[in-house]
Structures are given as structure tokens and as C-alpha cells.
Amino acid sequence: MNKIRTRFAPSPTGYLHVGGLRTALYAYLFAKKNDGDFLLKIEDTDRKRFVEGAVEKLINSLDFLGLERNEGVMLSKVLSSNTNSQESKNYPGVFEVGEYGPYIQSEKLEIYKKYADELVKNGYAYYCFCEPERLEEMRKEQTAKKQPPIYDRFCLQNVSEEEVNKNLKNNCPYTIRIKVPHDEIIEADDIIRGRVKFNTNLVTDQILLKSDGFPTYHLASVIDDHDMQTTHVIRGEEWLPSMPIHILLYRYFGWEAPKFAHLPLLLNPDKSKLSKRQGDVAVEDYIKKGYLKEAIINFVAMLGWNPGKGETQEIFTLEELVEKFDLSHVHKAGAVFDIKKLDWINSQWIKKLSIEELYQKSLEFFEEKEFYKSWNMKHEACSTEEKENYLKKILTIEQDRLQNLSEVGESNQFFFHDANFDKELLRWKDMSDEDLKKSLEKSLTVLENITDENWTRENLEKILMEKADEKPASLARFAESRRAGGRGELLWPLRATLTGEKKSPSPFECAWVLGKEETLSRLKNTIGKI
């Protein structure tokens, strides 16, 4: 059997679309699972959509996500298994690695033209000189009559060979169209959809070569897949209607067609087609928002695939996905892009990080925040190590609560500036000023007696809990606070002092992060104000 070869064929629009990533990932997983090759080629023949730097950005994103290619377009020429490497003519600094290139369509224009001419010569395609206005008119009429947008073959039927030659000689703009045979049912297999059938009377004579000399997707894609020996074309469902054209092209060229797998559409939770707003679909934006690459890969893998009946595993590494992935478990129905699921998967991946890793990945997110910037400035005199340790302590208590890295510090800003003083917040239930003061003084005494070495989360919790269980400041309230099942008499005022917030991590955790000196200072400060 031939070695399995899949490809990802993005158009460089400036960002990696989540749907594109899903296609790339499935093509990658399928190839790797079957010891095959995964390659990247660039479909840049739509010149109107050209975006400077987009190719490089795309490659960077795939590299960042760990979707390594065996072949095709890369940002480096070093690749142990493949020595055939060339710098791209059109994109300096981009390399094409492998023996089936060029892997960039704008570098193959002559090849496409040659094949298009060959199709004309063999009677499988024809020149079309129709002006855009005529075509537009025809389209409007068809829409009005609710007819499918099918080219009326004016040029095939009315322009003689002589006229064609004359027009060509006079440099009249032309396109080349495929000749679709009428009254035929084209049947083919799709790995995901099973047997699919197309009535050719509903298939238009698509343009293969545009008037600017560039090929359309149909022509280029088929020639590339043949040139690159693609065995499996894995792509989005939006390309399913192109299948009959592609099958015809393979037939006309006398080439064996690859196998096709059309992946399900991506949908919003309300089942509409996935929002086109770039902020919602650009993978780079999710990375910027603090989603880990492992989580993005994990989440995107589940958009249309599951590990099989009865399997409950939801968290997968890329390696595990390679092992478990199977195109037969990709479903036909649209896959819902549920951001809540992504948040959950991301939180699971964040939990797996060591504090060192979490710190390394979070620092850039801290650095964007105003509260961090002022804190950092105020602590200019502190060593980098001291600051690093402080942030690591914050991360230790935030780790289990984070859904993405851009949230770091957000809900615990009291670690970065003095806590707000709010006397009403400090009170446990309707405790009097006097009781409040007593409670805080008790905390102060207890905490003063804990040495620096013993200032650990566990000790703080143990000692403070013991104290909280003792008879509290007022006997009457003791009974009440016991009934309420809490140790609030002691712990609430302490926590509210340290944080100034209604909600926060426990007083033990906060005291631990703040350290002995700052904890005592906050307590004394508050006591002084009551």
C-alpha cells in the first residue's frame, strides 16, 4: 500500500481559523497514526486576499501548536529526514522542503496553465470570453427565477474555433472553463459521509483558469494533490460541492483520485454557522487570551471527533490523540464550538502545570496588567527572585481556579495593593466594633507568634482553625457562630482585613501569600482604624 500522505492547504488570510486548525489537526493525526506524511502547502492564488506576513504567521502558529510537517512549507530549512530544501521565491525566509514542490501555488502558475491548455486541447475545457457584466446579469436572472447558478455555455456553443484564435491573438481577456458532461450521476465515496452522488446537470462549468492567469482553487488543488501524491484529501464540508468537479478533473487528466474526507461544519451553540468575526475564530487570539496550546489542540480535536462509544476520556495529549484518532469516529453532523467547554479543558490543562511552568507562561499576562505594573514599580528595590516567589505563591492558590492565563491576578488584586478598608465588610454578622477589634487583636497575637519558618499554608490553617474553634470574643455569639457551622467570628474579619473583598481565597492562603510582615501590618492598620 502507498504511504499515506495528507496535507493542510490554507489560504494565507492573516490568521489561522479554528476550522482550519481542525482540518490541519485531523490531517496530521490521520497521517501520524498511519505512519504517513503530513505536509503544508500554501494556496495563495487569490491575489485580492493577499496579506503581508500571513504565510509566516500561519507557519508560526502550526509550529507553536506542535503540528510538525514532514514536508512542504517551513520557516527553517533544517529537517533531518528531508534534504531537498529551497528558499521560496515569493516569500523570502520561507523554505520549501521536499521533492514534490513547489508547495506554494503562486510559484506554479506555468504548471497550472500548461495543464489547463492540455484540457482545452483534449476537449475537456474551453475558453470563455464572457464579460463579467454578462455573467452578473445571467446570475441575477437565475437567482430571480430561483434557478441554480449554472453557466449557460454561451462560449462553448457560440464561439467558433476561428473566433477563439482571433480573440486570443487580440489578447482578449479569457477564462478557461471545465466542460461538465450532462446527464451523468457522479458517484464517489467520502470517508465520513459514505457514498455521495452528484447530478452533473446541477454542476456548472466552473472556471479553472482566471483571466489574470491564476488558477482557481479547483484546478490548482487537483494538480497539487496529484503532484504531491496526496492519498487523502481531508477538508471542510464547504468543499463537498466541489467534489464532482475534482473527480472529473482526475478523470480528464487520467489520474487516480485520492480518497476524500469532508469534515463537519463548525457551529455556534445556537447551531448557526460559526461566527465569522475574526476575534472568535482566530487561533492566535485564543493563544493571546491565555489558552494553552495543549488545551486548544485537545478542544479542537473534539470538534467532530470522539474516541468511540463508552470512552469517557476528555483530556488528551497530542500523542494520545495520534494513538486514538480514527476518521471513522468523525461524525457528519455539525460540531458545536462551545467556549465553555474550551474553558473547562483549559482549566484542566492549567492544573497539570508545575508552578514553574505556570509562572513562565503567566508572566507576560501579568505584565500587561495595570495593577501588576504599579506593584512592580513600587517594589523596584526588591530582587527579581523575591518578586518571582511572590507571584508563584499567588499562582499556587489561583491555579485550581483559573480558566485561562489572562485571568491571573485579576480577582485577587489585593495582593498587589493595600486592601480596601470597609468597616461593615469586616464585621462578622452583627458583631459590635468592640468584638470586631477583639477578634482582629486575637488574630494578630496568634499570627505574631508564628515564626517565619512556620509561616506555611498548612501551619497557618492548622493554628488559625484551632483558635477559631476556641471560645470566641463574645460568649453569646459563640453559640450562634457554632450553629451557623462557621468559625466566622475569628476568620471573617481576618480575611476581610487582608483582602478588603467580599470573596477571596481563605485567610490562610492570603496570609501565606502576603507573608508575615505584610499580614501583620494590614491587621495593625485596620485595628488602628476601628
- Which sequence positions are flagged as catalytic? 276
Closest CA to 513 of 456, 461, 441, 451: 456
Asked if 527 touches ligand GLU (CB under 6 A), the answer is no
Distance CA 111, CA 102 (A): 10
Asked if 295 touches ligand GLU (CB under 6 A), the answer is no
Asked if 412 touches ligand GLU (CB under 6 A), the answer is no
Q: Site size for ligand GLU, by CB under 6 A? A: 8
270, 272, 302, 341 from 336: Cα distances, Å: 8, 9, 10, 10
Report which secondary-structure segment, H or E, holds 220: helix 217-227
Distance CA 4, CA 28 (A): 11
Which residue lies nearer to ligand GLU by CB, 236 or 486? 236
Within positions 39 to 98, which residues make up the interface with ligand GLU, using CB under 6 A? 43
Beta bridge partners of 175: 128
Q: Which range in 8-16, 318-326, 382-390, 449-457 contacts ligand GLU by CB under 6 A?
A: 8-16
Q: Which range in 9-17, 115-123, 159-167, 478-486 contacts ligand GLU by CB under 6 A?
A: 9-17
473 backbone dihedrals φ, ψ, rounded to 5°: -50, -50
Give the chain's count of helices (H) and strands (E).
Answer: 22, 14
Within positions 214 to 253, which residues make up the interface with ligand GLU, using CB under 6 A? 221, 235-236, 239
Which residue lies nearer to ligand GLU by CB, 54 or 490? 54
What burial letters (b/e) apply to 503-526, b meaning 16+ CB within 10 Å? ebbbbbbbbbbbbbebbbebbeeb
Min dist. Cβ of residue 122 to ligand GLU (A): 24
Which residue lies nearer to ligand GLU by CB, 9 or 295? 9
Q: Which range in 5-13, 120-128, 362-370, 389-397 contacts ligand GLU by CB under 6 A?
A: 5-13
Asked if 9 touches ligand GLU (CB under 6 A), the answer is yes
Respond yes or no on whether the N-terminal peptide bond of residue 264 is cis (omega within 30° of 0): no
Asked if 467 touches ligand GLU (CB under 6 A), the answer is no
Min dist. Cβ of residue 190 to ligand GLU (A): 14
Distance CA 169, CA 148 (A): 34
Asked if 10 touches ligand GLU (CB under 6 A), the answer is yes
Min dist. Cβ of residue 372 to ligand GLU (A): 39
Min dist. Cβ of residue 9 to ligand GLU (A): 4
Report which secondary-structure segment, H or E, holds 210: none
**Which residues here bind ligand GLU, judged by CB under 6 A?**
9-11, 43, 221, 235-236, 239
